[in-house]
Amino acid sequence: MTEPFAAVDVIVAKRDRNELTDPQIDWVVDAYTRGVVADEQMSSLAMAILLNGMTPREISRWTAAMIASGERMDFSSVGRPTTDKHSTGGVGDKITLPLAPVVAACGAAVPQLSGRGLGHTGGTLDKLESIPGWRASLSTEEMLAVLRDVGAVICAAGEHLAPADKKLYALRDVTGTVEAIPLIASSIMSKKIAEGTSALVLDVKVGSGAFMKTQERAAELARTMVALGESAGVRTRALLTAMDTPLGLTAGNALEVRESVEVLAGGGPSDVVELTVLLAREMLDAAGVVGPDPADVLADGRAMDAWNRMIAAQGGDPQAPLPTARESHVVVAERSGVLSRLDALAVGVSAWRLGAGRARKEDPVSAGAGIEMHAKPGDLVVAGAPLLTLHTDDAERFARALTDLEDGVEIADEGTRVDRLPLVLDRIGA
């Protein structure tokens, strides 16, 4: 087969800040998926896109080409409006776990295709796999059956959903091109559009523990993704939310599951509860579902019932004890005062050092590893009182983890005002 383009010509066009044509985009995405365009060539093109950007038309066409590389799912047989949430990733971000059963208990269907963690950000599937027996991989038929029965399913995306994205995502991670907004937006939205949900709420994180460090960059990404969704017929909106300090009081797989169950039981940290309720209301509104308020569903046990059924439907035992790490180390406050800083990136990297995350996609994770936080910025602390408890299966990991935390924890004099980002910074979309 004679190829209609040469990869080097497409690279040079973007290197020289020209717009790629629709046929060029269609071809290069397809040819890379087929193996005709080599990794080093796509790496070069990805870097040119990072440096020179893409127009809205180019991003839209690139996203469509990624979708066309695989299959599209159909949830019309589920019998409920479908709505989904995607977070751009952070530290302690366990919101999907309580959110999916809450929204299901309110009357919508939540087909949540999730991923694994890489680096300092946690992965939803890794967290849920700490539950004995729980399965991330479901066939399409199994996924639809759980959706019809429970109203929510959290599972891995199938191999045939936007395969171009799977290949390109792995390449971006090792070539310094993860931060390219056109490539982030098309990666997320190609999977979500191909997934077939009718409504989507995006949780775009802002701060040290997020990929988007500034509100301006986060807003640009959010606007790009909302436009892609809307143009594809998916009702899409975005919240910009804070990730300057970790969400909740835990970072790590089983630790975050435990905290999520506390939220479903009517307790848990206030920031996790607040964001769960806010996102649930947005998801239900986007899907056109008028039902009970998510706060009431959390309080009266209906969300917990949906959680138990969802976990059991995927082979898990929701009553089984969660794994715990073999070793622990308590970090105490060196002085009394106000905890003025607990940096999300420092906590995330430290939890990763303890074994809660992975450096490469194929690395295993430790279910029990992670960090418990006993105070949040603005809280009064007393000298000698516990600030953090580190958990790991390998005590030799403590030294590096503690080094990573050194610059991320600060205590100021009592009475010092602590300025934190508000939980929700902005809302974009209809």
Question: Which residues are annotated as catalytic?
Answer: 86, 165, 172, 187, 191
Expressed in percent and rounded to 5, the helix, strand and coil fractions of the chain are 45, 15, 40
What is the Cα–Cα distance from 148 to 153, expressed in whole angstroms?
Answer: 10
Nearest to 16 by CA among 39, 41, 45: 45
Q: Which residues of 122-136 are buried (b: 16+ CB within 10 A; e: fewer)?
A: bbbbbbbbbbeebeb
Distance CA 356, CA 388 (A): 15
Block residue for tokens 């005062």: 337
Give the pair of three-digit tokens for residue 163: 């395969």
Instruction: Name the phi and psi angles at 257, rounded to 5.
Output: -65, -45
* CA distances for 402 relative to 4, 359, 391, angstroms: 55, 18, 12
Virtual torsion, Cα 398, 403, 404, 408, nearest 10 deg: 120
What is the bridge-based pairing of β-strands 409-412 and 337-342? antiparallel
Distances from the Cα of 285 to the Cα of 62, 82, 240, 279, angstroms: 29, 11, 18, 10
Q: Return all residues near 355 (Cβ < 8 A) that are at least 6 apart.
A: 325, 365, 366, 369, 392, 393, 394, 397
- CA angle, corner 89, sides to 70 and 56, nearest 5? 55
411 burial level (CB within 10 Å; 0-12, 13-18, 19+): buried
User: From CA 130, how far away is CA 415, in angstroms rounded?
Assistant: 41
How far apart are alpha carbons 376 and 342 in whole angstroms? 7
220 closest CA partner among 201, 204, 241: 204
